[in-house]
């Protein structure tokens, strides 16, 4: 709709001058909120949906990270950098090559998995026995990926199209199909992972290695190969997460930093190396974020800090996390 | 060392000294450092504008300095200031001590520019800031003229004026909605990123909006780097806001606009959205940023004066996109620095400062006149208002940035009307019309 060209608002210097000069000590007008049952109901629905969506994204990221830690004791700080690489891979395939996002997603998962395995072989495996060195090496790896992407794509913000466009209305709340996909993907991945770990030979080998590396080795399991396969699986999950989540976010070379912090919080809260713990912790922090945004809109920027505070609080009461594996073993 | 060897050594040293002295004495180049975050759009704008200016001046033989013509040599310096302020100060130090530039232009983040400013001032080099909007940069000039007199603001006008303009745009949109959709009382959702520069705007908005005859629906402060704002948008829709008054300088401007467009939130977005000023916004929002209106500096087909069109078209021809405000390094060199050097007839910073602070000259975005404080002290800040610099409001209309303000705008009842050539009507999102016309 076009509006005729008429000078509708002529306000300018005079009437705004005093307000701008008094920034900070003006008489504030306060917006008052009247809560009734309808508003409370709507708020609860918003929080539930927001929490489930946030939690699913965290869960997808944390499960992969938790897996490689549980099996190989590798703290892979580059985990979310692989997620960033997957996002750029999808960008190239969809925006530069003009192919369907599904092709981008498949290519991203395959390429990132291969790159993850290669990185493990070339960079992590030689220093695996020194956990501190591995930690630093993975940070360096993430920084290298970031700088390479900055050189190629500069710091420009980019985006990719959604796998499924549009939204639906659930109990009065607008939800993207892509968000629903993220939620379903988190459940699906956990189910598949459970079947894989419980019902396949490789899964058995991974579980054995996670329980006791030396004994697994003595039983004829090639522990190094299992670790590499697990690294591939873990990074593949990061690639898959990138593929699912990236249409909901903004691509930039530093996009791995913020999710890394939340992912670490989820993993520590759930208990290092515990897949079940990561899954549950992801939803706890997801709901914490949603609560902050809806109950304190002026403090929406604090949602990350609140989630991290919850993590610290839980750790004070239960230092091994909710479903700690590592610390229990130490005892 | 033998005697003849000593002689050869001394001769070589003397020759070297003479050659270098000759090179310095007869150098036909003016070295201009261009500093900015070169891996980002803002730094690229700095560099593109400066290269355009240098090429244009050099093609005419250079700048007349006294009796000789001197060509411009640009030195690019990546400040990396988005990631590390220390990198920015190191880059400025390098420009001063190793590259030995005569002038510097650029800078973007206020925190970095404040630090870089001190270094340039220590070396008594003219530094024209082309990015940071904080008033403190120029208030330093008034407070301590002898130290900071070498700093000038090149672009944009300071943040107080930026906010003032944004409120005028908000008022304009409010009036449009009232008139065309018959909304009796406009409700405004204030959404400002959590950043230091945006903090004082909250009380200003809380006080100003009711005085403009509108109601505040609520205030939201997402993180500047938030990637998912669906929760905020859901709350805004529940608050039944008709307008979203947004202040974003960071990446959050992209997901906010994209998700608001995708969810068809029935509220008009207006304010300052730095990402929406760039042509890449359309791709970054997958076209969902349509109808977003923001304060801006340039738009295709909008002419503030006779200098706008040649600059904007020349820039588009060369770089394939509309210039953003950091490309005003072009204006700073072509219309600010070069004529001042010619007038001074020397590269002496003090002489050029005294000329530049008194000149009034046209640039592609309006007319530059450096402000003075109430007690007459030079401020080296840009004058805002009709006849000087006003900026534009642009709106994304399909896949193009269209200029929508000012049209017959009067800053005060006595002030002259301002209309720029090429301004088009504001368009409302169809889903808003659908909702309110029912």
Per-residue model confidence as pLDDT tens digits over B59-93: 999 999 999 999 999 999 999 998 888 999 999 99
Average pLDDT over residues B371-394: 94
Q: Please say if the pLDDT value at position A227 is more than 90.
A: no
pTM of the complete model: 0.81
pLDDT at A328 over 60: no
- Give the lowest-confidence range in A227-241, B320-334, B382-396: A227-241
Scan residues 115-154 of A and list those with Cβ closer than 8 Å to B: 150-151, 154
Nearest residue of A to residue B416, measured between CA atoms: A10
- The arithmetic mean of pLDDT across residues A210-218, rounded, is 83
Instruction: Find chain B residues with C-beta within 8 A of A33's C-beta.
Output: 218
Q: Which tokens hold the place of A287?
A: 């709901």
* Predicted complex ipTM: 0.74
Tens of pLDDT, residues A109-161: 999 999 999 999 999 989 988 888 999 999 999 999 999 999 999 888 899 88
Does some domain include residue A14?
A: no
> Which two three-digit tokens encode residue A8?
């509708």
Sign of the CA dihedral with B339 first, then B340, B343, and B349 last: negative
Residue B391 located in a structural domain: no
For residue A182, give its domain range.
Answer: 36-330
Number of domains in chain A: 1
B50, B139 contact by CB (below 8 A): no
Of B394, B158, B390, the C-alpha closest to B269 is: B394
Q: What ranges in A12-36 are assigned the alpha helix state H?
A: 13-21
- B12 CB near a chain A CB, below 8 Å? no
Domain shared by B242 and B279, yes or no: yes
**CB-based contact (8 Å) between B437 and chain A?**
no
**Which residues of chain A have a CB within 8 Å of the CB of B198?**
none
Q: Is the CB of A24 less than 8 angstroms away from the CB of B262? A: no
Whether B7 maps to a domain, the answer reads no
Reported as a pLDDT band with limits 50, 70 and 90, residue B137 is very high
Q: Is the dihedral of CA B139, B145, B148, B151 positive or negative?
A: positive
Q: Same domain for B281 and B314? A: no
- A18 band by pLDDT with thresholds 50, 70 and 90: very low
Which residues of chain B are within 8 Å of residue A42 when distances are taken between CB atoms?
238
Residues of A in contact with B213 (CB under 8 A): none
Residue B348 domain flag: yes
Residues B204 and B265 reside in one and the same domain: yes
DSSP A218-272: HTT--HHHHHHHHHHHHHHHHHHHHHHHGGGS-B-TTTTHHHHHHHHHHHHHH-T
Closest residue on chain B to A166 (Cα) = B262
A156 touches chain B (CB under 8 A): yes
User: Residue B405's beta-bridge partner residues?
Assistant: B393
Query: Is the peptide bond preceding residue B406 cis, with omega within 30 degrees of 0?
Result: yes
Please confirm whether the linkage preceding B156 is cis (ω < 30° from 0): yes
Average pLDDT, chain A: 81
Chain A residues closer than 8 Å to B205 by CB: none
Domain count for chain B: 2
DSSP secondary structure code for residue A77 in this structure: T
Residue B12: inside a domain: no
Q: Is B387 on the interface with A (CB under 8 A)?
A: no
Mark whether B40 and B147 lie in a shared domain.
yes
Residues B174 and B251 reside in one and the same domain: yes
Q: Which of A13, A297, A304 sits opposite B232 (nearest CB)?
A: A297
Is the model's pLDDT at A325 over the cut of 80? no
Calculate how close chain B gets to A208, using CA atoms only, in Å: 39
Nearest CA in chain A to B178: A8
| 3-state helix/strand/coil string of chain B | CCHHHHHHHHHHHHHHHHHHHHHHHCCCEEEEEEEECCCCHHHHHHHHHHHHHHHHHHHCCCEEECCEEEEEEEEEEECCCCCCHHHHHHHHHHHHHCCCCCEEEECCCHHHHHHHHHHHHHCCCEEEEECCCCCHHHHHHHHCHHHHCCEEEEECCCHHHHHHHHHHHHHHHHHHHHHHHCCCCCEEEEEECCCHHHCCHHHHHHHHHHHCCCEEEEEECCCCCCCCCHHHHHHHHHCCCCEEEEEECCCCHHHHHHHHHHCCCCCEEEEEEHHHHCCCHHHHCCCCCCCCEEEECCCCCCECCCCHHHHHHHHHHHHCCCCCHHHHHHHHHHHHHHHHHHHHCCCCHHHHHHHHCCCEEEECCEEEEEEECCCCCEEEEECECCCCECCEEEEEECCEEEEEECCCECCCCCCCCECCECCCCCECCHHHHHHHHC
- According to DSSP, residue A10 is labeled -
Is A183 inside any structural domain? yes
The verdict on B284 and B377 lying in the same domain is no
Q: Which of B371, B270, B364, B370 is nearest to B325 (CA)?
A: B364
Q: How far is A49 from chain B (nearest CA, A)?
A: 9
Report the distance separating Cα B210 and Cα A124, nearest Å: 60
Judged by CB atoms closer than 8 Å, whether chains meet at A26 and B204 is answered as yes
Dihedrals phi, psi of B409, to nearest 5 degrees: -85, 135
CB contact under 8 A, A154 and B201: no
Residue A41, token pair as written in the block:
């109901």
pLDDT of residue B16: 61
Residue ranges with strand state E in chain A: 167-170, 173-176
**Residue B87 is part of which domain span?**
27-156+305-382
Residue A24 resides in a domain: no
Identify whether A3 is part of a domain: no
> A251-277: per-residue pLDDT in tens?
999 899 888 988 888 988 888 878 888
- For A19, the token pair is 């307000």
CA distances from residue A100 to A55, A86, B14, B286 in whole angstroms, order as listed: 27, 15, 70, 14
Average pLDDT over every residue of A297-303: 79
More confident residue, A297 or B400: B400
pLDDT at B1: 56
End residue of a domain, out of B382, B397, B428: B382
CA distance A287 to chain B (A): 12
Mean pLDDT of A246-252: 87
To test the contact with chain A by mutation, choose from B39, B215, B234 the residue with the greatest count of A C-beta atoms within 10 A, namely B234
> What is the percent of chain B with per-residue pLDDT over 70, rounded to a whole number?
95
Chain centroid to Cα B398, Å, comes to 25
SS3 at position A174: strand
Question: What is the chain A residue with the closest CA to B260?
Answer: A174
Q: Please work out, in degrees rounded to the nearest 5, the angle formed at the alpha carbon of residue B73 by the alpha carbons of B70 and B79.
A: 145
Q: Is the pLDDT of residue A330 over 60?
A: no
pLDDT greater at residue B169 or residue B230: B169
Decide if B168 and A20 are in contact by the 8 Å CB cutoff: no
CA distances to A112, A116, A314, B114, B328 from A235, in Å: 7, 6, 28, 42, 44
Q: Mean pLDDT lowest for which of B38-52, B281-295, B317-331, B408-422?
A: B408-422
B window 24-53, beta carbon within 8 A of A: 37, 39-41, 44
Q: B residues 355-384 near A, CB within 8 Å?
A: none
Same domain, B120 and B218: no
Determine the distance in angstroms separating the CA of A250 from the nearest CA of chain B, rounded to an integer. Answer: 6
User: What's the average model confidence in pLDDT over B116-131?
Assistant: 97
> Is A240 within a domain?
yes
Interface of A with B in 250-309 (CB under 8 A): 250, 252, 254-255, 258, 290, 293-294, 297-301, 303-304
Cβ of B226 within 8 Å of Cβ of A301? The answer is: yes
Please check whether residue A293 lies inside any domain of the structure.
yes
Of the candidates B164, B193, B207, which has its C-beta nearest A28's C-beta? B207
Query: 3-class SS at A74?
Result: coil
Query: Bigger pLDDT: B359 or B8?
Result: B359
Q: Mean pLDDT across the stretch A53-78?
A: 86
Task: Flag the least confident range among A44-58, B20-34, B41-55, B400-414.
Answer: B20-34
In 10 A of CB A184, how many CB atoms? 12
Shared domain for B310 and B421, answered yes or no, is no
Q: Which residues contact residue A55 at a Cβ distance below 8 angstroms, ignoring those fewer than 6 apart? A: A186, A282, A283, A284, A285, A286, A287
Return the biggest CA–CA distance within chain B. 103
What is the DSSP-derived secondary structure letter of residue A27?
A: P
d(CA A222, CA A209): 9
Residue A8 near residue B175, CB atoms below 8 Å: yes
Same-domain pairing of B231 and B346: no
A28 pLDDT band, cuts 50/70/90, is: very low
- For residue A35, how many other CB atoms are within 10 A of its CB? 8
Q: Could you say which of B207, B219, B428 has the minimum Cβ distance to residue A19?
A: B207
Give the separation between CA B323 and CA A86, rounded to whole angstroms.
31
Give the mean pLDDT of B351-374.
Answer: 96
Rounded to whole angstroms, how far apart are CA atoms B102 and A19? 42
Q: Please judge whether A20 and B172 are an interchain contact, meaning their C-beta atoms are less than 8 angstroms apart.
A: no
CATH classification at residue A200: 1.10.3470
Residue pair A282/A74 in contact (Cβ under 8 Å)? The answer is no
The answer to whether B86 contacts chain A (CB < 8 Å) is no
Cα–Cα distances (Å) from B195 to A23, A243, A322, B49, B129, in that order, read 16, 30, 35, 28, 21
Cα-based distances in Å from B165 to A131, B251, B271 = 55, 22, 9
CB < 8 Å to A164, chain B: none
Distances (CA, A) of B173 to A100, B73, B160, B261, B429: 38, 46, 20, 18, 12
CB-CB under 8 Å, A28 with B254: no
Asked whether residue B245 is domain-assigned, the answer is yes
Whether residues B98 and B221 fall in one domain: no
Per-residue pLDDT band at A36 (split at 50, 70, 90): low
What does the block give as tokens for B134?
């904080």
The answer to whether residue A11 scores a pLDDT higher than 50 is no
* Domain annotation covers residue A105: yes
A-to-B residue pairs, Cβ atoms closer than 8 angstroms: 206
Same domain for B42 and B144: yes
A18 in any annotated domain: no
Phi and psi, residue B410, nearest 5°:
-120, 120
Q: Which residue of A lies nearest to B80 if distances are taken between CA atoms?
A: A155
* Partner B contacted by A203 (CB < 8 A): no
Task: Tell me which of A14, A23, A24 to substitute to probe the interface with B (most B C-beta atoms closer than 10 Å).
Answer: A23
Structure tokens at B107: 């800078």
Q: Give the residue from A4, A6, A13, A36 with the most B CB atoms within 10 Å of its CB, the best one to mutate.
A: A13
Q: What pLDDT sits at residue A162?
A: 86
Which span out of A39-48, A192-201, B385-394 was modeled with the highest average pLDDT?
B385-394
User: Is residue B9 packed enough to be buried (19+ CB in 10 Å), middle (13-18) or exposed (0-12)?
Assistant: exposed
CATH of residue B330:
3.40.50.2300
Please tell me which residue, A204 or A30, carries the higher pLDDT value: A204
Helix (H) or strand (E) holding A35: none
Q: Are A65 and A76 in contact (CB under 8 A)?
A: yes
pLDDT at B199: 83
Give yes or no: residues B149 and B164 share one domain. Answer: no
Token representation of residue A201? 């030979």
């Amino acid at each position: 709709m076009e509006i005729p060209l008429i000078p509708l608002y002529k306000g300018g210097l005079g009437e705004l001058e005093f307000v701008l000069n008094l920034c900070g000590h003006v008489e504030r007008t306060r917006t008052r909120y009247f809560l009734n049952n309808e508003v409370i109901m709507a708020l609860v629905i918003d929080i539930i949906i927001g929490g489930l969506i946030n939690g699913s994204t965290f869960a997808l990221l944390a499960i992969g990270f938790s897996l490689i830690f549980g099996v190989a004791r590798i703290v892979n700080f580059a985990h979310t950098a692989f997620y960033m690489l997957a996002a750029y891979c999808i960008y190239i395939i969809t925006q530069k090559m003009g192919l369907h996002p599904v092709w981008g997603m498949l290519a991203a998962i395959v390429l990132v998995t291969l790159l993850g395995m290669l990185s493990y072989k070339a960079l992590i495996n030689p220093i695996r026995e020194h956990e501190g060195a591995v930690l630093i090496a993975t940070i360096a790896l993430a920084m290298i990926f970031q700088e390479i992407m900055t050189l190629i794509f500069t710091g420009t913000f980019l985006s990719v199209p959604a796998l499924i466009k549009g939204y639906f209305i659930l109990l009065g709340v607008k939800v993207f199909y892509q968000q629903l996909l993220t939620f379903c993907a988190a459940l699906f991945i956990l189910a598949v992972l459970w079947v894989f770990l419980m019902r396949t030979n490789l899964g058995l080998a991974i579980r054995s290695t996670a329980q006791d590396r030396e004994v697994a080795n003595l039983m004829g399991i090639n522990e190094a190969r299992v670790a590499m396969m697990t690294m591939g699986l873990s990074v593949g999950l990061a690639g898959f997460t990138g593929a699912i989540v990236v249409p909901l976010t903004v691509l930039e070379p530093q996009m791995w930093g913020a999710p890394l912090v939340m992912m670490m919080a989820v993993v520590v809260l759930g208990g290092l190396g515990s897949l079940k713990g990561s899954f549950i912790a992801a939803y706890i922090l997801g709901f914490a974020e949603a609560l902050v945004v809806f109950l304190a809109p002026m403090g929406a920027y604090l949602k990350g800090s609140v989630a991290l505070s919850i993590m610290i609080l839980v750790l004070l009461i239960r230092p091994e996390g909710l479903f700690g594996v590592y610390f229990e073993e130490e005892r | 060392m033998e005697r003849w060897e000593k002689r050869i050594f001394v001769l070589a040293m003397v020759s070297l000294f003479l050659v270098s002295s000759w090179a310095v004495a007869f150098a036909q180049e003016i070295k201009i450092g261009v500093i900015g975050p070169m891996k980002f759009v803002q730094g690229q704008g700095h560099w593109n504008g400066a290269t355009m200016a240098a090429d244009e001046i050099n093609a005419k033989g250079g700048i007349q300095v006294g009796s000789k013509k001197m060509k411009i040599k640009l030195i690019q310096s990546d400040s990396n200031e988005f990631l590390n302020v220390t990198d920015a100060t190191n880059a400025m130090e390098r420009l001063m001590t190793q590259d030995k530039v005569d002038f510097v232009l650029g800078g973007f983040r206020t925190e970095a520019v404040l630090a870089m400013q001190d270094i340039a001032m220590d070396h008594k080099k003219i530094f024209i800031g082309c990015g940071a909007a904080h008033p403190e940069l120029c208030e330093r000039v008034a407070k301590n003229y002898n130290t900071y007199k070498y700093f000038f603001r090149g672009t944009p006008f300071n943040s107080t004026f930026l906010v003032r303009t944004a409120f005028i745009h908000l008022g304009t949109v409010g009036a449009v909605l009232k008139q065309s959709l018959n909304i009796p009382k406009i409700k405004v959702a204030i959404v400002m990123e959590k950043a230091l520069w945006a903090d004082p705007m909250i009380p200003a908005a809380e006080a100003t909006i009711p005085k403009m005859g509108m109601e505040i629906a609520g205030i939201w402060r997402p993180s500047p780097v938030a990637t998912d704002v669906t929760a905020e948008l859901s709350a805004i829709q529940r608050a039944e806001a008709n307008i979203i008054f947004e202040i974003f300088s960071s990446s959050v401007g992209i997901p906010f606009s994209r998700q608001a467009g995708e969810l068809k939130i029935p509220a008009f977005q207006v304010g300052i959205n730095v990402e929406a000023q760039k042509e890449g916004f359309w791709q970054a929002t997958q076209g969902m940023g349509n109808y977003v209106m923001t304060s801006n500096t340039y738009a295709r087909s909008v002419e503030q004066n006779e200098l706008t069109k040649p600059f904007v078209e020349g820039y588009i021809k060369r770089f394939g996109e509309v210039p953003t405000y950091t490309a005003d390094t072009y204006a700073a060199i072509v219309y600010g620095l070069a004529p001042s050097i010619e007038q001074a007839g020397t590269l002496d910073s003090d002489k050029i400062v005294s000329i530049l602070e008194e000149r009034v000259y046209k640039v592609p975005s309006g007319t530059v006149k450096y402000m003075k404080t109430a007690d007459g002290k030079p401020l080296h800040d840009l004058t805002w208002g009709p006849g000087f610099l006003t900026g534009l409001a642009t709106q994304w209309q399909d896949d193009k940035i269209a200029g929508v303000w000012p049209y017959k705008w009067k800053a005060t009842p006595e002030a002259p009307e301002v209309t720029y050539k090429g301004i088009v009507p504001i368009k409302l999102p169809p889903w808003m019309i659908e909702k309110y016309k029912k």
